[in-house]
Amino acid sequence: MLVENTNAIASLTTGADTLFLLLGAVMVLAMHAGFAFLELGTVRKKNQVNALVKILVDFAVSTIAYFFVGYIVAYGTSFMVDAESLAAKNGYELVKFFFLLTFAAAIPAIVSGGIAERARFGPQLIATAVLVGVVYPLFEGVAWNQRFGIQAWIKAATGAEFHDFAGSVVVHAVGGWIGLAAVLLLGARAGRYRRDGNISAHPPSSIPFLALGAWVLAVGWFGFNVMSAQTVAKISGLVAVNSLMAMVGGTLVAVLMGKNDPGFAYNGPLAGLVAVCAGSDVMHPIGALVVGGVAGAIFVALFTLTQNRWKIDDVLGVWPLHGLCGAWGGVACGIFGSTALGGLGGVSLGAQVIGTVLGVAWALAGGFAVYGVLKLTMGLRLSAEEEYEGADLSIHRIGATPDREVSW
């Protein structure tokens, strides 16, 4: 009887864990709709269809690359076994793959926003396969699965491992710095920077869709962060409230610094959420509020510098939003996660700096390698005529809305 009760409890626990993680996977899957609508609202009307199709197909390619290659690279787990083995423990390992896939697929979704309006479709899909199958999982394995002994080395040097609970560095900084490499290799959109030194305005095509995308991302982010616990026993309300505080901190600072600009207003909460991922399980809520506020300031200041002074045509600002705010989050975990500032401790600023620098360096190297080879062998961008016509008609042969209504 005791054995039966023990087995029943174990079955119930694994079932609950599987459902918990499945809900997280679905919430993060929904975030990809947020990526799509955020990009759709930011690009010009002639590129809206491309934004929607690109995010969807990138996710499909990511799934294949991660299932057959990437998950093995990161965790050493292959699914090339019988279905009975896969179904063990309520299929928890399969759901864990699904959950972590949604993180991996965020890499091309992040890059997509930077290279919007002028990137060719085919080469980007090839880049997605390589990034999700090899480049991203190598660092994911280092940070989250003790691969190559790097975490042990960091701990020996600093007294603590590199801590990134939900991916400020592993996902966002890596995606943002890969995006920077892609943007630099691709070049600016035609006509964006004129020969006389002036900048041609390319306003968002739809603020409502931009706002919708930001809201979908923000809601899904609570699955991204809270469900990173991966089991019901480890769930923490601290993660939820820290995510909330960082979100509002980023919003308020971005609105103030951006002088009520809606683009800054709706990217502010995303900046805060990017930054809090790493330390959301160890910070005090007030610390999370500060981290989010600083991230909002970083995004507004660096997006403006990137576009206006440095003339880097990063359409959605993925480098400042994900690359820089993600790196800030990695470092901030070592500051605000310490017991001296009300955190739970167990983190080291030195370890956070080392891990963040390693992630940024790996992302830059991988980004330049992948997109550099594609640029030399296939070419990355649309022709001048295709870019002028717009990616919707050039690639998909249809626009987002008809030029005129039919009468029949």
CB 33 within 8 A of CB 214: no
d(CA 163, CA 330): 8
Q: What is the mean pLDDT of the chain?
A: 95
Arithmetic mean of pLDDT, 309-321: 96
Quickly tell me which residue has 């997509």 as its tokens.
112
Residues 203-242: pLDDT tens digits?
899 999 999 999 999 999 999 999 999 999 999 999 999 9
**So what's the pLDDT on residue 40?**
97
pLDDT above 90 covers what percent of the chain?
Answer: 90
- HSE of 180, CA atoms in CB hemisphere, 13 A: 23
**pLDDT at residue 405 tops 90:** no
**How far does Cα 102 stand from its chain's mean position?**
9
pLDDT above 70 covers what percent of the chain?
Answer: 96
Residues 345-386: pLDDT tens digits?
999 999 999 999 999 999 999 999 999 999 999 999 999 999
d(CA 92, CA 87): 8
Neighbour tally for 114: CB within 10 Å? 29
**pLDDT at residue 300 tops 60:** yes
Predicted confidence band at 404 (pLDDT cuts at 50, 70, 90)? low
**So what's the pLDDT on residue 12?**
83
Residues 126-181: pLDDT tens digits?
999 999 999 999 999 999 999 999 999 999 999 999 999 999 999 999 999 999 99
Quickly tell me which residue has 């299932």 as its tokens.
67
**So what's the pLDDT on residue 406?**
56
Residue 102: both structure tokens together: 């949604």
Q: What is the largest CA-CA distance in the chain?
A: 84
Global pTM? Answer: 0.95
Instruction: From 254, 275, 257, select the one nearest 325 (Cα to Cα).
Output: 275
Predicted confidence band at 308 (pLDDT cuts at 50, 70, 90)? very high
d(CA 140, CA 144): 6
Domains identified in the chain and CATH numbers: 2-78+91-396 (1.10.3430.10)
Residue 355: both structure tokens together: 């891990």
The H or E element containing residue 50 is helix 48-65
Residue 381, phi then psi, degrees to nearest 5: -115, 160
d(CA 29, CA 26): 5
